[in-house]
Amino acid sequence: KAGVTQTPRYLIKTRGQQVTLSCSPISGHRSVSWYQQTPGQGLQFLFEYFSETQRNKGNFPGRFSGRQFSNSRSEMNVSTLELGDSALYLCASSMGQGEETQYFGPGTRLLVL
Amino acid sequence: GEDVEQSLFLSVREGDSSVINCTYTDSSSTYLYWYKQEPGAGLQLLTYIFSNMDMKQDQRLTVLLNKKDKHLSLRIADTQTGDSAIYFCAESGSSASKIIFGSGTRLSIRP
């Protein structure tokens, strides 16, 4: 079974731009969660999608948004990028129905200049 | 609020046992996890334990949970150079799909 895949793996943007990251969960998994990892703040939960609906949300500004498609693939969008958005963005998938072992993808490393 | 704390660094000699400790605050956590992150890589789930268990063993890994003290530990027996990584303790928090991570413990191995 293929693992969680994320594209692109690396991205460079400039301040004020927007960016879209993609995550394909493990086959059969319906829940996708997104996390931001920075040296200063560590790993922080962004949001979780289940069956195309946002089910949980962390404490991030509205510039961070996401969506999930009917095939459970998820995208995360960050608008009006700031320097502090430079981070490793990780997505994780799980069945989403009680067995909550989450499996992580390799991440997308975003650098904002 | 929910918080997970762990020490930042641990250095052990190759072949010795490593013990990484963690404390958490959310007594309603259902799952407690240990993840491993190697340089430039994502997170690898090492093991997890249900909150109603005291211990779980998986090959060289032993997880101990003291629910009264909200203390979790990971013991790696016969530590090898390939075990060098950052180890994250995590809890499922108020929602099983929202994981709260500690800051990570960087494990280095001495020859």
Q: Cβ of A56 and B102 within 8 Å?
A: no
Q: Residue B45: which of A90, A103, A107 has the nearest Cβ? A: A103
CB A74 within 8 A of CB A21: no
DSSP helix/strand/coil, B111 = coil
Q: Which residues contact B95 (CB under 8 A, 6 or more apart)?
A: A48, A55, A56
Per-residue pLDDT of chain B (111 residues; tens, 9 = 90+): 668 999 999 999 999 999 999 999 877 777 899 999 998 888 999 999 988 889 999 999 999 999 999 999 999 999 999 999 999 999 886 666 788 899 999 999 998
- Put simply, the chain B residues between 34 and 63 with a CB less than 8 A from any chain A CB are 35, 41-45, 48
What's the confidence (pLDDT) of residue A40? 86
Q: Cβ of B98 and A101 within 8 Å?
A: no
Preceding amide of A8 cis, omega within 30: yes
Q: How many CB atoms lie within 10 A of CB B101?
A: 21
Identify all chain A residues contacting B92, using CB atoms and an 8 Å cutoff.
100
Per-residue pLDDT of A28-53, as tens digits, reads 999 999 999 998 889 999 999 999 99
Owner of token pair 């963690």? B22
Identify all chain A residues contacting B35, using CB atoms and an 8 Å cutoff.
104
Q: Cβ of B101 and A42 within 8 Å?
A: yes
Beta-strand pair B61-66/B71-76: antiparallel
pLDDT of residue A98 exceeding 70: no
Tally C-beta pairs within 8 A across A and B.
Answer: 56
Which of the four pLDDT bands, split at 50, 70 and 90, describes residue A68? very high
The answer to whether B8 contacts chain A (CB < 8 Å) is: no
Q: Cβ of B97 and A103 within 8 Å?
A: no
Which of the four pLDDT bands, split at 50, 70 and 90, describes residue A105? very high
